[in-house]
Amino acid sequence: MKLTSKLSVVAVLAIFALTSCGSNRAGDINDNAAVAQDTKSDPNADNDGDGLTNGEEDANGNGKVDAGETDPNNRDSDGDGLWDGNEIIRYMTDPLNPDSDNDGITDGREVYSCDETIFDTEKLSTHRPANVNQEDVPNTIDALDPYNDSDGDGRTNMGEKLKGTNGCDPDDSYPWATESCEGMSLAGAVYIPGGFDVDGDGKIEAGFWFTPYPASATEPILEHADYANFNESMEEKFNILNGTSLNYSTGRVYHSNDIYSPMFKDQGGVSSNYHSNLYGMDIPIVIDSLNIPACADAVGDIGPSVPTNKQYIHVMKLIEASGGEADGLIKNNVLGNDLNAPKDYKTNVYYLNKAVPGELFREYTKDIAVLDGFTPPSYWDAFGTRIEKDDSGKAWTDIDAGDFNFPAFADPHAIVVRQGWSIDLTFGVASGDATKGSEVLFRMATPYLAPSVIQNTN
């Protein structure tokens, strides 16, 4: 055999050895040596054997790896253990991004598993990409789903990334909200999951704590408020929806009610247990009386107070989406995934559900509207906004002071009141014990948790 023929055989065998027998397996770190060839020589060739031609990888044919191009001399351009051709053809992942779904776990580990370090070994791979999160609609492989759970600890990859734990280590996970210091201290409250946009402002709301029952009246009767500082107290404890100052004339405030210390307690399934002897109340006193203990070593104050109208709408949207109209059932992962709670988390909030209209109590919120020029936010309309005002644009309050028939008067300010799915602005700042002929109750809620730990699944 001629020498040239022998060299040709050797060359063929050498090329075959480089492209077979599993010798080109790649892990999280790209260990493929760049092949020194000129990509301009043959755009139809596949220099690195990754399943893409040189022309497909070097689109402009200039022999350089430009922005947006994979390397025709490197099977794994982004070093995630997956060959470029397989990422494009088989897995639909990004060959230029080692973490296509930005959840903290590289594509190689999500296509294979956290326990493996060697991934693609052939072009046009026959490997079926992992999909352990079977709740996907439509079905999505893990490498494109930031809310799958690679280590099986119940926390999504995105949640672990945001919380600073290892999404590939089942022994390194963060506590649920119900296991946190705040959660353990709020005995009697339930966690309301977030993870969705409540008011249509483009921001994902977090979760918060909420009492499942309205407060019931207990002894002792509290001291009356310092009405000389009424505006300051109200502005500190309430949200003024369309302004920063209340400017209320305290000389017109009339108070005849007994003010009770609230109790948040599950006393059974009888509605009368939750509103007996509780009438229209002095809101600043009510809020001052809330004494929810915090953990001794907790940093900061979780700040329980009367819920905002937005929080009520948040709760009722979840009840509706969870199919819980009959019993106030609330589930996570129906409008969005709250990373602070398990996907299968559920709880109940009572006497807000529209299936039992006789037990839908009127409840104060933390919001006050200055009625001059007030326009309700558009997201209220879905729940039947009802605003009652007199001809001058002021809310009216009907005060019944015991045996005295105290006349009604017009008030330019109104506290937003909830009753199930309806919203009412008929109550002035000073409301009486028989306003609109029904009692007005209240609950406790904490502020929304920090939004930085919340992401949406949609």
**Domain range annotation of the chain:** 1-174, 184-441
Most confident of 188-197, 214-223, 245-254: 188-197
What is the residue-averaged pLDDT of the chain? Answer: 74
Tens-digit pLDDT profile for residues 156-192: 898 899 889 999 999 999 888 877 766 655 556 789 9
* Angular region, 325: left φ>0, alpha ψ -120 to 50, beta rest: alpha
According to the model, what pLDDT value does residue 101 have?
94
At 127, phi and psi to the nearest 5?
A: -65, 135
Residue 26 has pLDDT above 70, yes or no: no
Alpha helices in 19-168 (DSSP H): 54-57, 84-86, 107-111, 157-163
Task: Convert the pLDDT of each residue in 324-361 to its tens digit.
Answer: 888 899 999 999 989 889 989 999 998 887 766 667 77
The residue among 88, 73, 11 whose CA lies nearest residue 39 is: 73
Secondary element (H or E) of residue 414: strand 413-419
What's residue 355's pLDDT?
67
The model carries a pTM of 0.74
pLDDT digits (tens, 9 = 90+) for 272-327: 555 555 544 455 555 554 444 444 444 345 566 788 999 999 999 999 999 988 88
**Start-end of H helices in 203-352:** 230-237, 283-289, 309-321
Q: Report helix, strand and coil shares of the chain as percent, to nearest 5.
A: 25, 15, 65
Query: What's residue 169's pLDDT?
Result: 95
